[in-house]
Chain A
């Protein structure tokens, strides 16, 4: 399977702490994307990082990509209760013409 794998499957932290989620994948990619999903809703795109990029920032989000290790991480700084959601990585594999989503990390921010 080309599917990416997120780690951990679930993460619970206190408000104000930083949250780090990881994603590993198997073959060469064009880009890797992170999405967020609130319970029972559609996914919302957070950030896209291309294969020739190593780090990207968007507000409180920081994404890194290590193509030699075939892994990415999403860091959410100064977490808020509203960040409680599931977070998915999606990979655009070279030649695949589609995104492949991982199983997601369920993040809970405790007030």
Chain B
């Protein structure tokens, strides 16, 4: 256990659905991250939040909408996704750019 939790662990959704992924850490970290991991592709950084402020949006389509209500919680709201968005979505937290602590991930399948 890394101290970072993600729910749900698995999610199947249709292209017209709206769903949200949740990430939680109580490690006292100031930075939180969303990554996308697709088969045979490098880990892709999607968003970075530092002290609740978004500091990085790596050209992510608007159908992915992040929310960081406080330093311990991070959400990824999903709507009108495409099948190519199927992937493992990983959340991580850290203090500055030192060690990142990853959650177990949400395996997303878009039908």
**Between A and B, how many residue pairs show CB distances below 8 Å?**
60
Tell me if A71 is interfacial: C-beta within 8 Å of chain B: no
Tell me if B29 is interfacial: C-beta within 8 Å of chain A: no
Q: How many residues of B contact A (CB 8 A)?
A: 25
Return the CB mask of B79-107 against A: 1 if under 8 Å, else 0: 00000000010101000011111111101
Shortest distance between the CB of B45 and any CB in chain A (Å)? 6
Question: Contact between A101 and B56 (Cβ–Cβ < 8 Å)?
Answer: no
Say which one of A43-51, A60-68, A72-80 lies at the interface with B.
A43-51
Answer whether A42 and B4 are a contact pair too, CB < 8 Å, given A97-B55, A103-B42. Answer: yes
Residues of A bordering B, CB below 8 Å: 3, 30-31, 33, 35, 40-45, 48, 88, 90, 92, 96-104
Residues of B bordering A, CB below 8 Å: 2, 4, 6, 33, 41-43, 45, 48, 50, 55-56, 88, 90, 92, 97-105, 107
